[in-house]
Amino acid sequence: MLGFGGHWTTKSRRYSTTMGALRRTRAAWTARQYGHDTLGVDQDQDDVETVVVLREWAYRGAGYQTPGEAALAAAIACYTREQRRIARAARAIA
């Protein structure tokens, strides 16, 4: 397979979580479900993540922030329309 970087369990710690961390989390969850003490479950402090919850949303505006962004978006839209027109013409000929 193109781009296959190896077995999924061999991912680096920087890229994703480790299998050990997944096992510890699963063991702690199972212990809590059955009412067991989770003190025996080994969990590193590095594996604990903080979740930030945002409760306030504010409208920040719509559209492009600068005339340059608007011009760039218009140029991309024009290019896309032209490429689609060329593709339709090529299909009609074939």
Q: For position 1, what pLDDT does the model report?
A: 47
Query: What is the number of structural domains in the chain?
Result: 2
Distance of CA 86 to the CA centre of its chain: 34
pLDDT tens readout for residues 28-77? 888 888 877 655 555 555 556 777 777 787 887 888 889 999 999 999 99
One-letter amino acid at 51 equals V
Nearest to 24 by CA among 48, 42, 45: 42
Q: Is residue 1 part of a domain?
A: no
In the three-class reduction of DSSP (H, G, I as helix; E, B as strand; rest coil), residue 43 is classed as coil
66 shares its domain with 41:
no
Q: Which structural domain range is residue 87 located in?
A: 59-94
CB atoms within 10 A of CB 64: 13
R_g of the chain, CA atoms, integer Å: 26
Q: Is residue 73 part of a domain?
A: yes
Structural tokens at position 13:
């710690």
Q: For position 78, what pLDDT does the model report?
A: 97
39 shares its domain with 66:
no
